[in-house]
Copies of this chain bind each other. A is one copy, B any other.
Amino acid sequence: MVRNISEIEKSFINYVKKMSSYNEAISLMYWDLRTGAPKKGVEQRSETIGTLSTDVFNMSVSEEMGEYLQALSNPEVKGEISNITKKLVEECKRDYEKNKKIPPEEYKEFVILTSKAETIWEEAKEKADFNSFAPYLEKIVAYLRKYVERIGYEGNKYNALLDDYEPGITVEVLDRVFGELREKLVPLVKAVTESPKQPHTDFLFEHFPKEKQQGFSSELLRQLQYDFEAGRLDTTVHPFAIAINRNDVRVTTKYDEKDFRTAIFGTIHECGHALYEQNISEDLIGTPLCDGTSMGIHESQSLFCENFVGRNFSFWKKNYQLLKEYSGEQFEDVSLEDYYKAINVAGPSLIRIEADEMTYSLHIILRYEIEKALINGEIEVKDLPEIWNDKMEEYLGIRPSHDGEGVLQDVHWAGGSFGYFPSYALGYIYAAQMKNEMDKDITNFDQLLDEGNFTPIKQWLITNIHQYGKMKQPLEIIKDITGEGLEPKYLISYLEKKYKEVYEL
């Protein structure tokens, strides 16, 4: 049966929409597991998630997919198909070629290995016992070294892993950019640590009832134009944002009654992720392109909200009174200026997820250097604790007292997610590049925050980033906005300026 190209196109779109539907069901199950699914049902739920995930994987490498890709990537038909289809073909082809190279049995074994490793890691972390976790990590690294060879790479082997999370970013780029960043941040951290002008922070840690924090968090979400008709706010152990579909983007947060910052800045952070997903072009709804383009660009949106908005003086000029209304007497005798300094306190710390915006990237650079060396066989798993601790001392001037607060602190490696960490630092760099450019278009940014008028800012983000979903690659977004590639100098000068002010350097 000969079919014309528009029939094939239509049928291909339906095919990928079906894959998206399966992913939508998986996302809801994931959200539900974290927001209160009864524990006895988890085992069976995991089976169901496994079934649907396997369906999606199989569809990505099926004969039918192969035929669509062949028919639709024929240069002769390029003029006849829509831009969306072209991009879909590109994305699906990428996955098709990659997934085809992985023997399904091996992949399945790896999934089982990492799921087991995550359980082992949890206990190892608690007991600060690296040796019990090491054999699992060794197997994971062995798989990934083999994976890299199967998938193929240009230049450094680690590029194959980077490509899974941040297409276009390579070791060659990161070595330069992270090198520059490290060089400037290490002395900044030192200066901040040694400054005699440390902000007062004791007032941050008073009792702030959960319900009040919840009310204030919701209020901030509304101010930042999170659409509650296309989302909801829940409570989880680890905060996250998840797009179940484009019009159902949920955020969660965590309440610490002795440190309100966890919830407030956590909520603003997740709001940034959610705004991205809620504002992707409607044309992409139901397709795999209706998603953030990469982990790094996603993180740029959450960090933009958290830091450039949420830690901005004018934002609190507008909101400090409101915070006081929710918190009772906690900030009664604290001036806005002192409050602002307190929420921008920075300094070396051992745990990545508790790090401030000045030191955060150094935590990432450390991990990046270790991952790269591991994948390239330059170091081995058994060497990790010492390497980790040495680097902590070199970059941040502090040394973990045990592996639980050192090399064992994050779950990523247990889950097999090598190549993921760099996205976090990329998020900071991208965000600073975007902000630098936004300042040219929106010359009264601080004034808008002071007025509580977030609309022009959000609109700028939609126009330049959100709307595209996966229609543009990460570096394409950055290039189209700034005319440049990845460039760390904007982040550096932002951080230097801010901390010179806060710490009166």
Contact = CB atoms under 8 A, between A and B. Distances in A.
A47 B21 contact: yes
A41 B248 contact: yes
A47 B244 contact: no
Number of this chain's copies in the complex = 2
A45 interface: yes
A244 B48 CA distance: 11
A245 interface: yes
A228 interface: yes
A25 B29 contact: yes
A227 interface: yes
A71 interface: no
B229 A38 contact: yes
A63 interface: no
B36 A286 contact: no
Nearest to A51: B21
A286 B45 CA distance: 10
A247 interface: yes
Contacts of A52: 21, 25
A437 interface: no
A48 B24 contact: yes
Contact of A28 (B32, B39, B231): B32
A497 interface: no
A302 B83 CA distance: 55
A486 to B, nearest CB: 34
Nearest to A50: B21
Nearest to A23: B48
Contacts of A36: 232
A52 B38 CA distance: 23
A77 interface: no
Interface of A: 17-18, 21-22, 24-25, 28-29, 32, 36-41, 43-45, 47-48, 51-52, 227-232, 244-248, 250, 285-286
19 contacts: A18-B51, A21-B48, A22-B51, A24-B45, A25-B28, A25-B29, A28-B32, A37-B248, A38-B232, A39-B229, A40-B227, A40-B229, A40-B230, A40-B247, A41-B244, A41-B247, A41-B248, A44-B246, A44-B248
Q: Which 3 A-B pairs have the closest CB atoms?
A: A41-B248, A40-B247, A44-B245
